Amino acid sequence: MVTYRSTMVERIDLPSRETRERRLEEAGYNVFNLPAEDVFIDLLTDSGTGTMSTDQWAALIRGDESYAGSRSFDRLESAVEDVMGFPHIVPAHQGRGAENVLYGTLLAEGDVVLNNTHFDTTRAHIANQGADPVDCPVDAAFDLEAGETDAREFAGNFSLERARAVVDDAGADAVPVVIQTITNNSAAGQPVSVENTRRVREFADEIDATFVLDACRFAENAAFVREREAEFSDASIDEIAREQLGYADALVMSGKKDGLANIGGFVATTDVDLFERCKQRAILYEGFPTYGGMAGRDMDAMAVGLREAVEDAYATDRIEQVRTFGRLLEDAGVPIYTPVGGHAVYVDAGTALSHLPPEEFPGQALVCELYREGGVRGVELGSFAFPNTDRPELVRLALPRRTYHREHLEHVAETATAVLEKREAVSGLELASEPPIPELRHFTAELRPV
C-alpha cells in the first residue's frame, strides 16, 4: 500500500462558466490553444506533467552541468543499466529526439518498419527517413465491442500474423527494424505480454531485423504482466521490466513517462556499433553524448525517477489509480474502452455522442463540452486527430503521475455525467482553419460549431 502526501502545493481554480465559454471560443474549440491557467483538471497528457518526489527534487541540486563527462550522465547511465539492463545510452531532449537519433541511424529510403501501433511522433520520424511505418495491432485492439474478453488481456500485443503478411509481400530485406511499443499508447494504452515480446524477438531474428522497444511506459506494462501473465505472478516489477526489455537490441525512451521526469529521453542499446553510430547523429541533433539535450540536473532527476518507477508499490498504485478512474466514469454511465489501460481512460465518444457523424468530430465535441462544463481538458484521438482512418472516436483522459487525488477524479466523472445528461444538445464541429500537414492538424487547427 502506498500513498502520497503533499510537500508543496499548487493552487488550481475552476474559472467561471462565462470565462470557460469565452476561452473555448478564443481557442477556436481546440483545447491545445487554452491557457493552462484556465484549465482546472488537466488530463491532456501523462507526458512530463507528473509530480516529482522529494528525492528527485533533492537530486536536481546535485546536477553536474559540465559539457563533457558530467557526473549526472554517469548516474543516469547507471540507473538505466540497473533498472533496464542496457549498458550504453545516448541522452536526448525527449522521446522524439531519441527517435530521430535512432531511426535516422537505422533507416533508409524505401524501408518498411513494423510496430504494434506507431505513436504519432514515431510514425512521423520513420516517414521522415523515407521509410514506411506499418501498424500490426491484434484484432482486439480497436474492437470496442469486444469488452473484457481474454483477447483483451493483452490487447496491446504485436500481431505476428499481420507482420508476416507484410514481410511476405515486401520481402524480409525491406524490413530492417521491428518495434514494439509498451504499453501501446495508440491502442488505448493496452499492455503487451512478455510472451508476445519473446515471439517478436524470434520474428526479428528470422528476418534479420533490429528489434526496438519503445519503452516509455515499461513499468506500467510490467504491472499488468504481473497481474495477467501467470509465469510472472510472483515476480517483482523490476524483474519483469528487465526480462521484457532484455529481448530488445535497443530502446527508445521518453523519460517524461516512466522516467517520472518533466523532460528528457534516451536511446539505449547493447550493440556497441549501433551505440557509436547513434552518438554521431546525437551530436548533430541533440548535443554532446554525455548530455544530449538534457541539463545535468534533469538527468539526475530521471535517474532517481527510473528507480522509483519500478518499485512494486509505485507501479501497482499507478495502474490502480487509472483503473479506479475508469470505474468512476463507468459508474457515472460514461462509455469507456475496457479493460482500462496503463496511463489513461479512453472514452468512446462515438457512443456517448452517437447523434454526431464522424464529419462533425464527436470526440472533439466531447472534449470541448468537458472543458465548458467542468474545466476538464482531455484530448481527441478520433477522426479529428487521425483524418482518413477508420479509428474509433476516442477521447483520452490521461492521468499525470502522482498528481491528482480521488476528489479530482470524482469531479471529472461528475462533469462527464452532466455533459451526457444534455448530450442531445451538444452540437458538432467543423474546421475553420486547416494547417498544412494533415497528420498534425489537431495540434493547431481551429474549429467552429456546426
In the complex, the residues that contact ligand F0G under the rule CB under 6 A are 45, 47, 94-96, 119, 121-122, 181, 185, 214, 216, 254, 256, 265
Give the number of other Cβ atoms within 10 Å of residue 260's Cβ. 25
CB of 185 to ligand F0G, least distance (A): 4
d(CA 233, CA 130): 43
C-alpha 437 chain-centroid distance: 22
Cell of 357: 457523424
At 447, phi and psi to the nearest 5? Answer: -130, 175
**79 or 126: whose CB is closer to ligand F0G?**
126
CB of 45 to ligand F0G, least distance (A): 3
**91 or 428: whose CB is closer to ligand F0G?**
91
**286 or 373: whose CB is closer to ligand F0G?**
286
In the three-class reduction of DSSP (H, G, I as helix; E, B as strand; rest coil), residue 59 is classed as helix
**70 or 94: whose CB is closer to ligand F0G?**
94
Nearest Cα neighbor of 188 from 344, 391, 24, 361 is 344
d(CA 119, CA 307): 25
**210 or 254: whose CB is closer to ligand F0G?**
254
**185 or 415: whose CB is closer to ligand F0G?**
185
**156 or 392: whose CB is closer to ligand F0G?**
156
Residue 5, judged by CB atoms within 10 A of its CB (0-12, 13-18, 19+), counts as exposed
CB of 73 to ligand F0G, least distance (A): 19
Residue 212 falls in which region: left (phi positive, over 0), alpha (psi -120 to 50) or beta = beta
Nearest Cα neighbor of 405 from 51, 14, 28 is 51
Crossing angle of helices 218-228 and 237-245, in 10° steps, is 110
In the three-class reduction of DSSP (H, G, I as helix; E, B as strand; rest coil), residue 99 is classed as helix
CB of 254 to ligand F0G, least distance (A): 3
- DSSP secondary structure string for all residues of 318-350: HHHHHHHHHHHHHHTT--B-SS--SSEEEEEHH
CB of 121 to ligand F0G, least distance (A): 5
CB of 217 to ligand F0G, least distance (A): 7
CB of 107 to ligand F0G, least distance (A): 16
Measured CA to CA in angstroms, residue 318 lies from 172, 326, 399 at distances of 39, 13, 9
CB of 169 to ligand F0G, least distance (A): 26
CB of 287 to ligand F0G, least distance (A): 16
CB of 214 to ligand F0G, least distance (A): 5
**105 or 420: whose CB is closer to ligand F0G?**
105
Amino acid found at 15 = P
Nearest residue to ligand F0G, by Cβ distance, number only: 95
**259 or 392: whose CB is closer to ligand F0G?**
259
d(CA 129, CA 11): 44
**45 or 415: whose CB is closer to ligand F0G?**
45
Crossing angle of helices 194-206 and 160-170, in 10° steps, is 10
Amino acid found at 400 = P
